[in-house]
Amino acid sequence: MLKRILRLGHVFKPRQTINFSYKNMQSEDSKEQVITEGLATVKTSGNVFYNQVQEFNRDLSISVLNVFSRQYQKEKIKKQNDNSGQHEEELKVGIKNENGITILEALSATGLRSIRYAKEIAGVKQIVANDISRNAVENIKLNVNENNVEDLITVSENDAIMLMYQHRLKERFDAIDLDPYGCPSRFLDSAVQAINDGGLLLVTATDMAVLAGNSPETCYSKYGAISLRIKSCHEMALRILLQCIESHANRYGRYIEPLLSLSADFYIRVFVRVHTSAHKCKFTTSKLSMVYQCTGCDTFTLQPLGIVKTSDDNKQIKFKLPVGPSVGSACEHCGNSFHLGGPIWSAPIHCMDFVQEILQTAPTHLKTLKRIHGVLSVITEELPDCPLYFILERLSGTLHVETPPILAFRSALLNAGYHVSFTHTHKTSIKTNAPAKVIWDIMRCWESKHPLKEKRKAEKSPGNNILAKQPEKQYCFDLHRDANPQSRREGFVRFQENPLPFWGPGVRSTAMVGDDKMLKSRLNQGKRKRDQSEDKEEK
């Protein structure tokens, strides 16, 4: 121990040199950069968080809020007495609208998003740009002044959670944007209380490793659901986040209405409206399901938490518990056991009318407009009532057979009378209302045309267990006219692009990290290797 202290003392003796080098590094990190995005131009220092890949996120949010602003104003006028004489007014961009919406950006960082909202969304009354960092707040104030949007943006230096709790009873917001670094769950309790009835909640989650099944125990502690390492993990991540928001809302007699749920790049993003109705909260159990995933062939089965039954005249509603489990002790296809995940949101995750309106009215100046049109076009083609999906390569890999062309497989389902679609989360996804038994029968028929290699037939595997059974009927792979959807035929930018420079969630902002902590972090870099080399020298 004494030797270690002496060594540390020898290494860290020239304190002035260390302080000098740290100041140099700090000044390099704090270099000012100018960012132009959309109609906004902001200046930021290196220790304030900014991720340029999130421009698609911000462009899409602007498109969504423009549609929401128009709809929300119409609904407010409709709720008021028709004799009041109030008529729908023209919503203007960049000008304060007294009857417009109020927006909270709880975690503003550079303030770029708030400034873009002020300059690119029609019908805004007020935007609160909040951040807990004093450096970030000063930066936001400077950028607000330079963009001439002082009359629309109020800058706040506060803890985001406490700020939302302060607005839970009065002066609620019409829209709250939560775009944190990592998991958003700690903000949800205050957010669902601080938003107006019918208001819009925009939530981003970037901890995809947790949501995609790499750490199911962590997922449960953060989101209240077990994640699975399933091929449709990106859609399951969206559904886990939606059930988490619904869970927080239900505690206060509120429920959510998903408008758009998106998986893009390294994050997921959901846009939901929050409504108030204790009666409607009773329907929540029928919107949630547990997921049984076969450990051998990855076949999934959903078990709803509740059932809603209505009378023939639709006047009486009964809430019942389902009979379960919906699977046996072993998979009926391959004989393996199951993993249990969830609960997940199993109701529709998009409002197709809302998505269509975004497509028709998205601002033309957006840099990522082509990608917005492409992704939303795929979403409009998704089957709304078929949670999760299969992956074509995974089906073939389980059986060790040649992968069928995607259009041939889709045609087999369509020729058999089932529905099928892609999803925006995966290029070779198979979202269908056909039961899993039909999926594997189609693969058996394909294997009969493209036989398995002899050396594979002797193996004991889930795939051979599936192939040991005969298909109930023969399926036709002739090309169906609807097999190739419009978004694919016209070459839309349907899926995320290959990673670009600065792709990924980036690093957490260091604006609130003290100098002492930063210095300690820098000094500890390579510490283990230094200690090992010094130990070898002593020996």
The CA distance from 18 to 16, in Å, is: 5
Q: Bridge-partner residues for 446, per DSSP?
A: none
Domain extent for 41: 35-81+89-375
Domain count, the chain: 2
In a domain, 9, yes or no: no
Phi, psi of 50 (to 5 degrees): -150, 130
Quote the pLDDT of residue 535.
65
**What stretch of H or E contains 6?**
helix 2-11
State mean pLDDT over 240-254.
98
- Of the CA atoms within 13 Å of residue 90, those in its CB half-sphere come to 4
In a domain, 19, yes or no: no
CB contact at 8 A, 319 and 282:
yes
Say if residue 105 is in the same domain as residue 202: yes
Say if residue 284 is in the same domain as residue 326: yes
Q: Dig out the tokens for 189 from the structure.
A: 């309790």
In a domain, 15, yes or no: no
Question: Considering the chain, what is the average pLDDT of its residues?
Answer: 88
Quote the pLDDT of residue 522.
61
CB contact at 8 A, 110 and 49:
yes
Q: Could you write out the DSSP letters of every residue in 314-381? A: S--EEEEPPP--SS-SS-TTT---EEEEEEEE-S-S--HHHHHHHHHH--TT-TTHHHHHHHHHHHHH
Which of 343, 375, 407 is at the close of a domain? 375
Read off the DSSP letter of residue 403.
P
**Does position 7 have pLDDT exceeding 80, yes or no?**
no
pLDDT band at 196 (very low <50, low <70, confident <90, very high): very high
Say if residue 359 is in the same domain as residue 297: yes
Say if residue 355 is in the same domain as residue 437: no
Greater model confidence, 32 or 468: 468
Say if residue 338 is in the same domain as residue 453: no
Say if residue 311 is in the same domain as residue 403: no
CB contact at 8 A, 225 and 343:
yes
In a domain, 280, yes or no: yes
**Which one, of 209, 226, 325, lies nearest residue 267 by Cα?**
209
State mean pLDDT over 82-102.
80
Quote the pLDDT of residue 255.
98
Q: Could you write out the DSSP letters of every residue in 60-95? A: HHHHHHHHHHHHHHHHHHHHS-GGG---PPPP-BSS
Read off the DSSP letter of residue 274.
E
State mean pLDDT over 428-445.
97
pLDDT band at 523 (very low <50, low <70, confident <90, very high): low
Say if residue 100 is in the same domain as residue 217: yes
**Which one, of 239, 316, 244, 253, lies nearest residue 281 by Cα?**
253
Say if residue 364 is in the same domain as residue 392: no
Say if residue 430 is in the same domain as residue 358: no
**Does position 263 have pLDDT exceeding 70, yes or no?**
yes
State mean pLDDT over 97-105.
95
State mean pLDDT over 422-430.
95
Q: How would you label 351-380 residue by residue, b for 16+ Cβ within 10 Å and e otherwise?
A: beebbebbeeebbeebebbebbbbbbbbbb
**Does position 262 have pLDDT exceeding 70, yes or no?**
yes
Tens of pLDDT along 438-493? 999 999 999 999 998 887 777 789 999 999 999 999 999 999 999 999 999 998 88
Q: How would you label 104-138 residue by residue, b for 16+ Cβ within 10 Å and e otherwise?
A: bbbbbbbbbbbbbbbbbbbbbebbbbbbbbebbbe
CB contact at 8 A, 412 and 444:
no
The CA distance from 482 to 179, in Å, is: 38
Read off the DSSP letter of residue 123.
S
State mean pLDDT over 85-99.
81
Say if residue 325 is in the same domain as residue 424: no
Quote the pLDDT of residue 15.
35
State mean pLDDT over 83-94.
72
**Does position 411 have pLDDT exceeding 50, yes or no?**
yes
In a domain, 537, yes or no: no
Q: How would you label 160-180 residue by residue, b for 16+ Cβ within 10 Å and e otherwise?
A: bbebbeebbeeebbbbbbbbb
Q: Bridge-partner residues for 41, per DSSP?
A: 36
Quote the pLDDT of residue 315.
81
Length of the chain: 539
**Does position 431 have pLDDT exceeding 70, yes or no?**
yes
Say if residue 250 is in the same domain as residue 150: yes
Say if residue 76 is in the same domain as residue 103: yes
CATH of the domain at 323: 3.40.50.150
The CA distance from 84 to 280, in Å, is: 30
Which of 375, 399, 432 is at the close of a domain? 375
Greater model confidence, 270 or 47: 270
Quote the pLDDT of residue 537.
64
**55-79 vs 112-120: helix axis angle to the nearest 10?**
50
Quote the pLDDT of residue 532.
67
In a domain, 213, yes or no: yes
CATH of the domain at 460: 3.30.56.70
Q: Dig out the tokens for 365 from the structure.
A: 């100046």
State mean pLDDT over 88-115.
92
In a domain, 11, yes or no: no
Which of 340, 375, 410 is at the close of a domain? 375
The CA distance from 235 to 258, in Å, is: 14
Quote the pLDDT of residue 203.
98
Phi, psi of 297 (to 5 degrees): -110, 0
CB contact at 8 A, 237 and 227:
yes
By mean pLDDT, which of 41-45, 201-205, 224-228 is the weakest?
41-45
In a domain, 471, yes or no: yes
The CA distance from 104 to 199, in Å, is: 11
CB contact at 8 A, 432 and 500:
no
By mean pLDDT, which of 79-88, 341-350, 364-373 is the weakest?
79-88
Percent of the chain with pLDDT over 90: 74
